[in-house]
Structure 1
Amino acid sequence: MLRCPLALLRSSLALALGAALALSAPLAAEEREAALPQLALMGTVPIYWGESATFDELLAGEAELHWARTSLELDYRLVPLDYLSPEALAGQQFLLLAQPRGLTADENVALDNWVRAGGRLLLFADPQMTGESRFALGDRRRPQDTALLSPILAHWGLELRFDPAQDANWQMREFAGSPVPTRLSGTFATLGDAPTCTLSAADLVAQCSLGGGFALILADAALLDLADPAPESAPALSALLTRAFGDEAGQGGSARAEVVSSDNIARNQEYDGISGGLVNHHEQGSAPP
């Protein structure tokens, strides 16, 4: 006769435990997300918002999500940006620029100061985007077809080049122990007598130690294709993130990048308004990150 009350007690306890776990699951997920490091994100490749035609479509969740967002959110709390100002970059230690639009003079200065103050940057600068888009050529919602970043690249001692006669099929380049898929990629050349960047992977990758910070720059963005990514894209992105933001960041550059806290970045960042050659005369409209 004791089995029935005992069974009922066990059942009640199981239900209570299940309800408690169900209530605590969202809280645990929120706490885990809050504990993740922040990653600021901007670019015309629609990593964060997906390819949404209208704001209503975005709110309805009908836009096709980018596979890279799911991958990034495993390890980072994403902070989408639409403009690179000192205020937007303050407090950020990591930044991913995925084929950004042409930057304004003020943005170039803010980005340069932020990196030199200790920021870490992963930049995809593609001279010939190959990924499919639902939007027609000329549509501002379409990823930028050609990188328009010559001012900031030249300021960092780099020139982006493109060979139109190259094979248009997928090519694999080895970098940081991982194959990196590319299509119609560019190459970098260093400028000046004392380069701040070193080149690798057949000049596909530039690793630049700039002041107290570090920039890892790819002359291609094909691995971020939304519709038809290469199978190697996800592990390649993971390897690039580790190289740009991990403990070994800067070891491939001309000098070891110092690791500083986000507070130091905000405190050390100097916005002096001196644009010099950091002016992009082909500035285009913004697109969602």
Structure 2
Amino acid sequence: MGRNSVSRSRGAALALGAVLIACTACSASADADPAVEQVGEQMAQPRLGLMSTLPIYWNEAVEFSDLLNQDQGANWVRALLERDYALEPLDVLTPETLAPLDRLILAQPRALSPEENVALDDWVREGGRVILFADPMLTRHSEYRLGDPRRPHDVALLSPILARWGLELEMDTSQDDEERVVDAFGLSVPTRISGTFAARDAGGEAECALSDTRLMARCTIGKGGALLIADAAILDEDDHNAGQHAEDKASAEHSERQIREAALTGLLESGFEG
């Protein structure tokens, strides 16, 4: 072998060694970078779709400047969901948007189109699991005026998919406005002017069981399932204590938040892991 060939071989070996050292350094640096670790954790989390008219993923922004307000912080529901799931907001339900998901939350969603009802039903029958909050009279405060398209929907308009699963959403209009905790499937669920589910006489294509209070329904639908709650007060912010003194208000809000967090955690376990 000539001197030139030897020199080229040594040069290639040195270059390769430098690359390997650089890659090792990059890897070590990436391992030590908290941002990279956070991305890795998010990638490892199961994906969870979210479709809602409630300000869960984004806060309400009455003015454009509100979008830039860093003091608002994330909604507590979003923060709780993102502890265990990679949250993915959905604008529409199609076979394509649902295909990557095994889990879905519909929280007081807008009325679904016929195509969306079919896509949702097909997805569940193929093994998807959905938790559905359907409130017949939303009590959550909103900064948006009545008629503003950004306002959360005051009434759940989900009759087609409920009928498909053999259910009807009803409401007792004589209820008072007090918040109470209701037992349903062994969970303590905060409610406020809630609805109830009733089984339809015919036409349902799911096996559904109702809780004793009929606040909740648990359905087996093909290979998948649905957990339905006839109220959305569990997702509220703590805004029911405005007339109290500061210390009493803070204590009441802390207690309310604990009840809501425990109830939502229980619903997630029951609906997705149970």
Bin the TM-score by the shorter chain: 0.7 to 0.9
Does 2:159 match 1:150?
A: yes
> Structure 2 regions of 5+ residues with no counterpart?
1-28, 240-252
Alpha-carbon displacement from aligned partner over 1:136-156 (angstroms, at most 9, x marks no partner): 111111110000001110111
Question: Which residue number corresponds to residue 140 of structure 1?
Answer: 149
The reply to whether residue 32 of structure 1 matches residue 41 of structure 2 is yes
Q: Secondary structure at the match of 1:174?
A: strand
Structure 2 residue aligned with 1:220: 231
> 1:175, 1:203 → 2: CA distance?
8
Q: Quick one: distance in 2 between partners of 1:207 and 1:178? A: 13
Q: Rg: which structure is higher?
A: 2
Q: Do the aligned partners of residues 64 and 136 (structure 1) sit closer, same or farther apart at CA in structure 2, a change above 3 Å counting?
A: farther
Aligned to 2:207: 196
2:270 maps to which residue? 243
Give the gaps of 5 or more residues in structure 1: 1-19, 249-289
Give the whole-Å Cα distance in 1 for the aligned partners of 2:162 and 2:224. Answer: 15
Does residue 71 (structure 1) correspond to residue 65 (structure 2)? The answer is: no
CA distance in 2, matches of 1:150, 1:188: 11
Instruction: Please tell me whether the aligned partners of residues 51 and 65 of structure 1 are also in contact (alpha carbons under 8 angstroms).
Output: no
Measure the CA separation in 2 of the matches of 1:41 and 1:55.
24
- Alignment-mate amino acid for residue 268 of structure 2: L
What is the alpha-carbon distance in structure 1 between the residues aligned to residue 213 and residue 187 of structure 2?
A: 14
- The reply to whether residue 89 of structure 1 matches residue 116 of structure 2 is no
Instruction: Please state whether the residue corresponding to 2:105 is helix, strand or coil.
Output: strand
Whole-angstrom distance in 2 between the partners of 1:91 and 1:61: 31
One-letter amino acid matched to 1:203: R
For 1:42, the aligned partner's letter is M
1:89-148, Cα deviation, whole Å (9 max, x unpaired): 011100000000001000000001001110000000000000111111111111100000
Structure 1 residue aligned with 2:19: none
Displacement, 1:56?
6.1
Cα deviation, residue 227, structure 1: 4.8
Q: Decide whether the 8 Å contact of 2:185 with 2:211 is kept in 1.
A: no
Q: 2:141 aligns to what SS in structure 1?
A: coil
- From the superposition, tell whether residues 61 and 86 of structure 1 become closer, same or farther in structure 2 (CA, over 3 Å): farther
Secondary structure at 2:116 match in 1: helix
CA distance in 2, matches of 1:172, 1:105: 35
Letter in structure 2 aligned against 1:233: R
Q: How far apart are 1:175 and its partner, in Å?
A: 2.9
Q: Between Structure 1 and Structure 2, which shows a larger proportion of helix residues?
A: 2
TM, length-normalised to structure 1: 0.74
Q: Distance in 2 between matches of 1:120 and 1:140?
A: 29
* Higher normalized contact order (CA 8 Å, seq sep 6+, divided by chain length): 1
Q: Which residue of 1 aligns with 2:57?
A: 48
* Aligned equivalents of 1:67, 1:87: Cα separation in 2: 29
Shift of 1:177: 3.4
Contact 1:98 1:123 in 2 (8 A): yes
The answer on 1:234 being equivalent to 2:234 is no
**Counterpart residue type for residue 102 of structure 1:** A
C-alpha displacement of 1:82: 0.2
Secondary structure in structure 1 of the residue aligned to 2:33: helix
Structure 2 letter corresponding to 1:245:
F
Distance 2:271 2:95 in 1: 21
Q: How far does the alpha carbon of each residue in 1:156-195 deviate from its partner, in whole angstroms, 9 at most, with x for none? A: 1000000110122011111343310000000000013576
Relative to the length of structure 2, the TM-score reads 0.78
Amino acid in the other structure paired with 1:44? T
Tell me how many residue pairs correspond in the alignment. 229
The 3-state SS of whatever aligns with 1:74 is helix
1:208 lines up with 2:222 in the alignment: no
Contact 1:131 1:227 in 2 (8 A): no
Change beyond 3 A, Cα 1:201–1:25: farther
Deviates most, 86-95 or 57-66: 57-66
Cα pair 1:197 1:206 within 8 Å, conserved = yes
Counterpart code for 1:66: N
Residues 176-231 of structure 1 deviation map (CA, whole Å, 9 limit, x = unaligned): 43310000000000013576211004000010100000000000001111352733
Task: Give distance in 2, aligned partners of 1:191 and 1:156.
Answer: 9
Which residue type is aligned with residue 110 of structure 1? A
The two structures, once aligned, show a CA RMSD in angstroms of 2.2
The CA distance in 2 between the partners of 1:36 and 1:56, in whole Å, is 33
